[in-house]
Amino acid sequence: GENVEQHPSTLSVQEGDSAVIKCTYSDSASNYFPWYKQELGKGPQLIIDIRSNVGEKKDQRIAVTLNKTAKHFSLHITETQPEDSAVYFCAASRDSWGKFQFGAGTQVVVTP
Amino acid sequence: EAQVTQNPRYLITVTGKKLTVTCSQNMNHEYMSWYRQDPGLGLRQIYYSMNVEVTDKGDVPEGYKVSRKEKRNFPLILESPSPNQTSLYFCASSLYPALNSPLHFGNGTRLTVT
């Protein structure tokens, strides 16, 4: 089955700097890669996703890149702000499969 | 407001005492799923349902049961809870898995089994 590894487990950045989180997956049939942000006491919320027919996707300060050959995808947050502090999860799935495999999560702390 | 509602938010119980965690969504989503979140392990899928009366095992189904008798509800049942089921549980729904349809999560149920 699918296995998703996520690094780093914790990331501390200065406000205004960039943050990068990387995930690797094992199942070459996976074709959908969402990223979720979880704030304290809440459920995860989708922040961006990418499908396997696209190499990069941007939404304001957030971007995701996908390398299908190497089977890894990354989340990039630019100009970080204190409200970006949260736990971020990557995930992998494929159409009609019903299963989502999540990474172990990255605790991001943005210090002023 | 579109949402996934879980109840209760917090639950403390003893080993062996049957319990049910309810999950309800008001978005007419076909797909629903349960996850448990443990430190260092991320979110692990327990069970999922592609539609009414259709349920399948996720990665960690042992010790859990689910049912999907109607579209909006997907309760999680622990027939005989054990301490290793102490965890943070999330219910999620989606219009359809993948296909650019995001998972919507509830706010979680923190379960402690003593």
Helix residue ranges, H only, chain B: none
Among A7, A35, A99, A106, most B C-beta atoms within 10 A, so best to mutate, is A99
Contact pairs from chain A to chain B, CB under 8 Å: 73
Among A100, A102, A107, most B C-beta atoms within 10 A, so best to mutate, is A100
Q: Does A26 touch chain B (CB under 8 A)?
A: no
- Mean pLDDT rounded to a whole number for chain A: 94
> Could you tell me if B8 and A47 are in contact, meaning their C-beta atoms sit under 8 angstroms apart?
no
Q: Say if the Cβ atoms of B43 and A97 lie within 8 Å.
A: no
| Residue-wise pLDDT tens digits, B61-114 | 999 999 999 999 999 999 999 999 999 999 999 987 656 678 999 999 999 999
Q: Say if the Cβ atoms of A34 and B102 lie within 8 Å.
A: yes
Mean pLDDT over A24-52 rounds to: 93
List of E strands, A26-71? 32-38, 45-51, 56-59, 62-67
Q: Say if the Cβ atoms of B98 and A94 lie within 8 Å.
A: yes
Between B101 and A74, name the one with better pLDDT.
A74
Q: Which region among A3-7, A70-74, B90-94, B97-101 has the lowest average model confidence (pLDDT)?
A: B97-101
| Residue-wise pLDDT tens digits, A16-30 | 999 999 999 999 989
pLDDT at A98: 79
| Residue-wise pLDDT tens digits, B14-43 | 999 999 999 999 999 999 999 999 998 999
Distances in whole angstroms, Cα of residue A47 to Cα of each of B17, B32, B102: 38, 19, 10
